[in-house]
Amino acid sequence: MKRLGDLWPRLVAFENLWFAWRRARRGKSRSQGTALFELDLEHNLVGLQRELTQGTWTPGPFRLFTIYEQKARLIAAAPFRDRVVHHAVMRVIEPPLDARFISDSYACRRGKGTHRAVARYQEWARRYRYAMKLDVRRYFPSIDRLLLRDCLARRIKDRRVLALLEQIIDSGPDYSERPAPFPGDDLLTPLERPLGIPIGNLTSQFFANLYLDDFDHWVKESLRCPAYLRYVDDMVLLADDKQQLADWRAAIGERMAALRLRLHPERGQIERTADGFTLLGYRVFPGFCRLRSENPIRCGRRLRGLAAALAAGRIGWEPIDASIHAWVGHACQADTLGLRTAVLGRLVFSRGGGA
């Protein structure tokens, strides 16, 4: 694999930072951090360029909060200034590295996404009798930072870019939970290896794909599984032979241990594709698709909260419009015409004073 070089001049170019600011502000134009940065935009971009060039840039503190969607997730939001740097980095390194990923990795990639992943699975479900879904236990908090650094160093030779990436990796919050030792560890090894990348960083989404890139190629080229897809840490394999899937599951568990990851112990059942398969919010059958039952419940609850905020004058119409379009876009991939009518038909939106 040829390593990428001569990236730093493009990364710190003012034009790259300007485009990075444009991307970082999407959907965040009304936030306080964005507004403060844009009060003196050119000065702030030039200052950021100078700090990066001189090696004096340091990441700012994260804002930590927890969201609850099926399970609690700790989100780490970087300051707006840091998000500009993250976008600047990704504009330079992501296109050439993404081109090396397998085509059936679907998370956070241009032209991919959940709907294409579901369509791909459904295509395979018409051909194969059995499917198996595996996922990694606590994936983002469990990523080994030293192994992630090695992964980047095998692909990038520009030392200044690598140093910046290491800063971003090491700036994440500390994840206090430590796993049990892996084979070959001594008692101190788990304490000596820093873990975790923050959910919420643009760079983390890319790192999560990159960390399992070699694994993806191993599944395709060494296990020779023709029907394999991945969405972040959700992995789906299909075959006509149940024993083949069981053998692959055992081999994948060993391979994950080499990455200092563990498969979720309660997942990995082998299911008949004809009976339907739960994937990325859908119940997928070979010939049709349904929305999971909890999805419209969460959507209705969220929209009722937005309606109340609109009536109280705390928000305008824009976030409601975006939320409705996002949910309809997700729901219409399944057979949900009646369901969409029922969920949206019950809602009343009225603008309150001050919005």
Mean pLDDT of the chain: 87
pTM confidence score: 0.83
Cβ proximity of 351 and 317 under 8 Å: yes
DSSP string, 103-133: TTB-TT-TT-SHHHHHHHHHHHHTT-SEEEE
Determine how many CB atoms are found less than 10 A away from the CB of residue 120: 17
Pairing mode, strands 282-284 and 130-135 = unpaired
Residue 43 reports pLDDT greater than 60 = yes
Q: Which of 86, 75, 76 is nearest to 24 (CA)?
A: 86
pLDDT digits (tens, 9 = 90+) for 153-200: 999 999 999 999 999 999 887 765 666 788 888 877 777 788 999 888
Report whether pLDDT(209) > 80.
yes
Q: CA-to-CA distance for 161 and 253, rounded, in angstroms?
A: 33
Count of C-beta atoms within a 10 Å radius of residue 265? 8
Which of the four pLDDT bands, split at 50, 70 and 90, describes residue 355?
very low
Pairing of strands 270-272, 234-239: unpaired
pLDDT cut 90: percent of the chain above it: 62
Residue-level pLDDT at 234: 96
pLDDT in tens, 120-152: 999 999 999 999 999 999 999 999 999 999 999
The fraction of the chain above a pLDDT of 70, given in percent, is 82
Q: C-alpha distances in angstroms, 36 versus 2, 28, 80, 81, 137?
A: 41, 12, 9, 10, 39
Cα–Cα distance for residue pair 332/339, rounded to 1 Å = 10
**Distance separating alpha carbons of residues 204 and 264, to the nearest angstrom:** 21
The pair of three-digit structure tokens given for residue 309, joined into one six-digit string: 């905020």
